[in-house]
Structure 1
Amino acid sequence: MKAMLLPAFGDSFIAGEIPTPTPGAGQVRIKVEASSVNPIDTKIRIGAVPAVSPALPGVLHGDVAGTIDAIGDGVTGFAIGDRVYGIAGGFKGTHGALAEYMVVNPAMIAHMPTSLDFAEAAAMPLVACTAWIALFNKAGLQAGDRLLVQGGTGGVGHIAVQLAALAGADVTATVSSDQKAEWALRMGANHAIRYDKWDDVKAEAQARGDLGFDLVFDTPGGIGLDRSIEACARNGTVVGIAGRNEHNLGLVHSMELTLKFAFLIGYFVDPSKRQQDIGDMLAKMAAFVDAGKLTPVIGESYPMSEVNEAHARLERGGFMGKIVLTQDLA
């Protein structure tokens, strides 16, 4: 089969041919129709996360949408011809989605929302599961909580805003432009704050005695995490998904905050985690989508053969929603 291969860390992807995989017992094969680009994919490409990276030369990307075309022994709940989506590989010991076919563990996929096409479905899995884990499993979000979502129109952020609004939280999203502020409000945020006006907003909040947010979900990391800690109320909770920088944790101590991180890739490398949780979350997201309560947003789309350009676009930033890749290798 045809695939986009990464020869070595730091290289560009190249087109190549590799054997078409056959599903073993407890596996299914997906005829890949679409994938999407996540920051973890760019980190794997440059060799920044060797602990979770596949052997090279190899096939990357975990987000996938397509049709099941072969099923191994012992698989239940799926049939040939089913349209499915998932975050199912691209990491150590797994197949990747930048190919014509991908063999996966069915625990990490679900039936696609019937109202979405393949590209829209492929935009969802990693970001939707990450948002769910952060908001509900880690932060314990409840109706009425005051929540700040840093990066509220990004890949994870735009899903988090919608899920939190659906749960009845009072949601504030940080954004980089007036256009994105309007978009965040349309997705369900109660308030939107531009990053470049952060200090003014913070001063106004302090002047009126605002004690901060109950929960803060930090998606960008870096200085965003420092601001998230500053924005949290005493005894509040900050959940991050990017923690590779150095930070002064003095406020975490003095304000008695709880600081947690969500790392979805742990489901691929930590045997104590139940992989079926991913499939269950995806089934829940599909129901939300088909009920009109959750909408994935595609910022830009590229053919799969242009994955190098798609990675470069993600690294430049400035877009809303997700960057997707549609199948053109077959």
Structure 2
Amino acid sequence: MSNHPTATMRAMVLTAPNAAFVSSTVARPTPRAGEVLVRILASGVNPLDTKIRAGKAEHARHPLPGVLGMDLAGTVEAVGPQVEGFKPGDEVYGFTGGIGGLQGSLAEFAAVDSQLLARKPANLSMREAAALPLVVITAWEGLVDRARLGPGQRVLIHGGAGGVGHVSVQIALALGAEVFATGSAGQAAYIRSLGATPIDHATTPVEEYLAQHTEGKGFDVVYDTVGGPVLDASFLAVRRYTGHVLSCLGWGTHALAPLSFRGASYSGVFTLLPILTGEGRAHHGEILAQATALIERGLLMPRMDPQHFTLDTVEAAHARVTSGQALGKVVVDVSADAGTR
């Protein structure tokens, strides 16, 4: 391949688990049939990105050396054969790689399956859009695809101020549900600002908040975005017969008796399957297109961590996520234009 500048790009390459990212000049990908070449302006950082980097995500392996970063926002640079609905210059966002051997978004360009993309919301900056794909898809697959959430239902979101949680709260409200969300005492004001009723998970037993908010009957839908003992608590919090427990982190070993004694349902949400298997990718693009409509109506907004990061400070961006101190989604500005709308 030619060394002409247009044939290469900058990428942050991970060579081994827990290694430092290496700023590298690599070949710019060429879109194949069904793919779009995206000029990446912003790359979202999820907790899963940091686990993949640490080699602790068996369910999301990414061969090394490789480029991490699952979420992106940017502009279409070129389209491959058999691509419909996108043209050069279009602003897009999506969960497009960074696992399963697909190049991630910590790079200036990526050739991605066009089915995974949607039009970027016009009222969001690139960095705001890059904060959303994985968490929106995770929230949507649980609340809409599995629980079929509708108006008037009572929903409990565990971890309502977290990445998946704060999006789940907003989607549930947009669907007409009455929403309650667990969090710390310090997160109560933010949860309330979204329109949900906060529940202090540290001081309020399940039986108490069931009595207070559901007359002891339980919630119609409970979404566990935390995992571990929170999923066990979810089995106790769901309504009899018609209740539905969802979890995007239900990977442990759990006693099903509390759920069975309620005659309730459980669904696991595993949003990586379309990336890993190639099956069902178009639905991810469809979810994001519907999310764009909600965002442009003012019904869904990402909570952004105030700190800014670039490709030169990717290490600090990952550290911000692993520290647990981020006050919203962490995004890497791949371009200086990432923050403009």
TM-score, with structure 1 as normaliser: 0.93
Among candidates 178, 199, 203, match of residue 208 of structure 2: 203
Answer yes or no: is the 8 Å Cα contact 1:158–1:321 preserved in 2.
no
Question: Which runs of 5 or more residues in structure 1 are unaligned?
Answer: none
Structure 1 residue 254 corresponds to structure 2 residue 264? no
**One-letter amino acid of the counterpart of residue 23, structure 1:** P
Matched, 1:299 2:318: no
Q: Partner residue of 1:3? A: 11
> Corresponding residue for 1:107?
115
Task: Label 1:205 to 1:252 Cα distance change in 2 as closer, same or farther (>3 A).
Answer: closer
CA deviations 1:12-42 (Å, max 9, x no partner) are 3222222111111221111110011112212
Q: State the one-letter code of the partner of 1:299.
A: D
Aligned counterparts of 1:19 and 1:6: Cα–Cα separation in 2: 16
Aligned twin of 2:34: 26
Aligned to 2:68: 60
Moved more, 237-246 or 131-140: 237-246
Change (3 A) 1:267 1:175: same
Q: Summarize deviations over 1:59-87 as a string: whole Å, max 9, x none.
A: 01110001111111221211111111111
Pairwise CA distance, 1:328: 5.2
Contact 1:3 1:17 (C-alpha < 8 Å) held by counterparts: yes
Measure the CA separation in 1 of the matches of 2:335 and 2:215: 56
Question: By how many angstroms is 1:3 displaced?
Answer: 1.1
Deviation at 1:244, TM superposition (A): 2.8
Distance in 2 (alpha carbons) for counterparts of 1:318 and 1:241:
22
* RMSD over equivalenced CA pairs, Å: 2.0
* 2:331 aligned partner, one-letter code: V
Question: Of residues 159, 170, 182 in structure 1, which corresponds to 2:178?
Answer: 170
Give me the whole-angstrom Cα distance separating, in 2, the residues matched to 1:308 and 1:254: 47
Q: Distance in 1 between matches of 2:280 and 2:210?
A: 42
Partner SS, residue 36 of structure 1 = strand
When the two structures are aligned, how many residues end up with a matched partner?
A: 326
Secondary structure in structure 2 of the residue aligned to 1:198 = coil
Rounded Cα–Cα distance in structure 2 between residues aligned with 1:202 and 1:320: 30
- The 2-side partners of 1:152 and 1:50 are apart by 26
**Larger CA deviation: 141-150 vs 244-253:** 244-253
After TM superposition, the structure 1 = structure 2 runs for residues 65-104 of structure 1, keeping only pairs within 5 Å, are: 65-104=73-112
Match of 1:278 in 2: 284
Gap runs ≥5 in structure 2: 1-8
Taking the aligned partners of 1:129 and 1:173, their CA distance within structure 2 comes to 19
Q: What is the Cα deviation at residue 270 of structure 1? A: 3.1
For residues 278-306 of structure 1, give each alpha carbon's deviation from its aligned partner in whole angstroms, at most 9, with x where no partner exists: 11111111111111111112124322322
Task: Report percent identity of matched pairs.
Answer: 38
AA partner of residue 257 (structure 2): G
Tell me which amino acid in the other structure corresponds to 1:316: S
Q: Which amino acid letter does the alignment assign opposite residue 287 of structure 2?
A: M
Helix, strand or coil: the match of 2:216?
coil
CA-CA distance at 1:204 after TM superposition? 6.0
Query: What is the distance in 1 between the residues matched to 2:131 and 2:259?
Result: 34
Instruction: For 2:84 and 2:272, locate their aligned partners in 1 and report how far apart those are by CA, in whole Å.
Output: 25
Give the CA deviation at 1:232: 1.4
SS in 2 for 1:213: coil
Contact 2:158/2:224 (8 A) holds in 1? yes
Instruction: Give the conservation status (yes or no) of the 8 Å contact 1:304–1:329.
Output: no
The alignment partner of 1:233 has SS state of coil
Partner of residue 314 from structure 1, selected from 299, 321, 339: 321
Shift of 1:175: 1.2
User: Deviation at 1:248?
Assistant: 2.6
Q: CA deviation at 1:51?
A: 4.8
Moved more, 229-238 or 148-157: 229-238
| Other structure's SS at 2:66 match | coil
Provide the residue aligned with 1:238 in structure 2.
Answer: 245
**Normalized against structure 2, the TM-score is what?**
0.90
Relative distance call for 1:329 and 1:299 in structure 2 (3 A) is closer
